[in-house]
Amino acid sequence: MESTISLKTKGKGKGSKGASSSDDKSKFDIVKEWSNWSLKKAKVATHYGFIPLIIIIGMNSDPKPNLFQLLSPV
Amino acid sequence: MADLLPPLTAAQVDDKTKVDEKVDYSNLPSPVPYEELHREAFMSLKADNFEGLRFDFTKALNQKFSLSHSVMMGPTEVPSQSAETIKIPTAHYEFGANYFEPKLMLIGRVMTDGRLNARLKADLTDKLIVKANAQITNEPHLSHAMFNFDYMGSDYRAQLQLGNSALIGATYIQSVTNRLSLGGEVFWAGVPRKSGIGYAARYESDKMVATAQVASTGAVVMNYVQKISEKVSLATDFMFNYFSRDVTASVGYDYILRQSRVRGKIDSNGVASALVEERLSMGLNFLLSAELDHKKKDYKFGFGLTVG
C-alpha cells in the first residue's frame, strides 16, 4: 500500500527531485505544466494565425483594398 | 581630435555636466544599435549571394500592406561529415505578407513545407521598442523564437534578449564622443550551458567607419570602411578566433551607380564573390550573383529578378 502511494506521487511530479514538501512542489509543477501547455498552444496559434492576422490588419487599414486586389496576381 | 564640431550647442547645456569647449558631452547623438555595429562593413562584405534562380514579386495593396510571392530554385547545401559539400536541388515557393506602419511592423513568410518565419516590431513608447522573431516548423523541437526589448536613451541604447531555449542576452552601447561609441554584451544560454561576454567599439566620421569587437567565445572581429566618394566605398575585415586559431581577412567594394549596384569581395579563404543588382526599369531589378570558392572548388552562380 505504501509503495503504491509513493509510486503514484513520483509519477505525478515528473521533474521533481525528492518527496519532501509536496505543496510547493506541485504548485511549481502545475505552473510548469500550464506554461508548457500555453506555449504549445501559442506556437500552433502563431503558426496558423500569423499570416491571416497580417492580412486582416492590412485589409482593414485605409485606403481599404478590396478582395479582388488581394487575390489577383496583378 | 583637431577637427571636432564647433560649439553650436553650447547654449543648451545643463548645469550639471561640464562643457568641454569643443565637444558638448551632454548632447551626444544616439549610437548605432549594437547589432548594427558592423552594418557598413557587412553591406559590402556580407552581401547575400545565392545559387540558382530567384524570383521575388511584391505587390503593394496600399501604402502599408503588401503581399510577396517568391520562387527559389537551386541546390541547397546539406551539412555532411565528409569534406565534400553535398548539394541537393530544391525548389520552393514562399508567400509573404507585410504590414508597415510607423509604430508597428509585421512581416510573415510561409513556405510550401509549412515553415513560418514571423517578425514583429512595435514601438511601445518613443523610447521602448519590442521586436520578436520566430521560425516555426512542423517538426517538433526545431522552432525557435527570440524577443528583444530595446530602450533608447539620449546617448545610449540598451537591449534585453530572451530566446526560446532559455537564452538570455543583454547589450548596451553608449556614445562617448560624437564619433566614438563603446558597448558591451552579455549572454547566457541554457541548453549548452555557457555564457559569454563581449565588448565592442565603433569610431566613425563622415568618410570612414572603424569597428572592433571581442567576445569571450574567442571571436575577434575588426573592420574598416572608407567611403571614397558618393558612389564608391571600400571595406576590409579581419576576423580571428583565438581558441580555434581560425583567421579570415577580406577586402570588398561597393559601387552604387545610377542604375546598378555592384558589390564584391575577396577573402583569404580563397573565396571571391560578387553581386550585381541592376535596375532595368522602375520596380524591376535584375540580380546576378557569383561566388567562387577556389579552396573547396565550389562555384556558385545565381540569377534572379525582383519585381516591385
CB A61 to CB B62 under 8 A? yes
CB A47 to CB B136 under 8 A? yes
> Chain A contact for B248, CB < 8 A?
no
Shortest distance between the Cα of B97 and any Cα of chain A, in A, equals 7
| Cβ contacts of B42 within 8 Å, gap of 6 or more | none
> Chain B contact for A53, CB < 8 A?
yes
> Chain A contact for B116, CB < 8 A?
yes
Q: Quick one: pLDDT band at residue A63, thresholds 50, 70, 90?
A: confident
> Chain B contact for A28, CB < 8 A?
no
CB B61 to CB A57 under 8 A? no
Alpha-carbon B239 to chain mean position:
16
CB B106 to CB A46 under 8 A? no
Chain A residues close to B118, C-beta within 8 Å: 46, 50
pLDDT of chain B along its 308 residues, tens only? 444 544 444 444 434 334 334 667 777 888 888 888 898 889 888 888 999 999 999 999 989 999 999 999 999 888 877 777 788 999 999 999 999 999 999 999 999 988 999 999 999 998 999 999 999 998 888 888 999 999 999 889 999 999 988 899 999 999 998 889 999 999 999 888 889 999 999 999 999 999 999 999 899 999 999 999 999 999 999 999 989 899 999 999 999 999 999 999 999 999 999 999 999 999 899 999 999 999 988 899 999 999 98
Question: Does the structure's ipTM exceed the value 0.90?
Answer: no
Query: How many Cα atoms sit within 13 Å of B94 on the Cβ side?
Result: 22
C-alpha cell at B209: 567607419
Kindly tell me if the per-residue pLDDT of A61 is higher than 70.
Answer: yes
Chain A residues close to B106, C-beta within 8 Å: 50, 53-54, 57
Q: What pLDDT sits at residue B7?
A: 45
Q: Nearest residue on chain A to B114, judged by CA atoms?
A: A47
Chain A residues close to B101, C-beta within 8 Å: 61
List own/partner pairs for B115-118 with CB under 8 A and 24 or more apart.
B116/A46, B116/A47, B116/A50, B116/A51, B118/A46, B118/A50
Extended strands (E) in B142-294: 144-152, 156-163, 167-175, 180-189, 194-204, 208-215, 219-227, 232-241, 246-256, 260-267, 271-281, 284-293
Q: What pLDDT sits at residue B19?
A: 37
CB B97 to CB A63 under 8 A? no
Q: Quick one: pLDDT band at residue A5, thresholds 50, 70, 90?
A: low
Q: What is the pLDDT of residues A30-48, one digit of tens each?
A: 998 998 899 889 889 999 9
> Chain B contact for A58, CB < 8 A?
yes
Residue type, B239: M
Alpha-helical (H) ranges within chain B are: 39-45
Q: Nearest residue on chain B to A48, judged by CA atoms?
A: B116
> Chain A contact for B20, CB < 8 A?
no
CB A61 to CB B101 under 8 A? yes
Q: What is the pLDDT of residues A10-34, one digit of tens each?
A: 545 444 454 445 556 688 889 989 9
> Chain A contact for B106, CB < 8 A?
yes
Report the C-alpha gap between B263 and B43 in whole angstroms.
8
Shortest distance between the Cα of A1 and any Cα of chain B, in A, equals 39
| Cβ–Cβ < 8 Å for B287, B54 | yes
CB A50 to CB B98 under 8 A? no
Q: Nearest residue on chain B to A50, judged by CA atoms?
A: B108
Shortest distance between the Cα of A3 and any Cα of chain B, in A, equals 35
C-alpha cell at B135: 521560425
Q: Of A47, A58, A69, which is closest to B99 when you measure between CB atoms? A: A58
> Chain B contact for A69, CB < 8 A?
yes
Q: Of B65, B95, B143, which is closest to A58 when you measure between CB atoms? A: B65
> Chain A contact for B99, CB < 8 A?
yes
Report the C-alpha gap between B111 and B68 in whole angstroms.
12
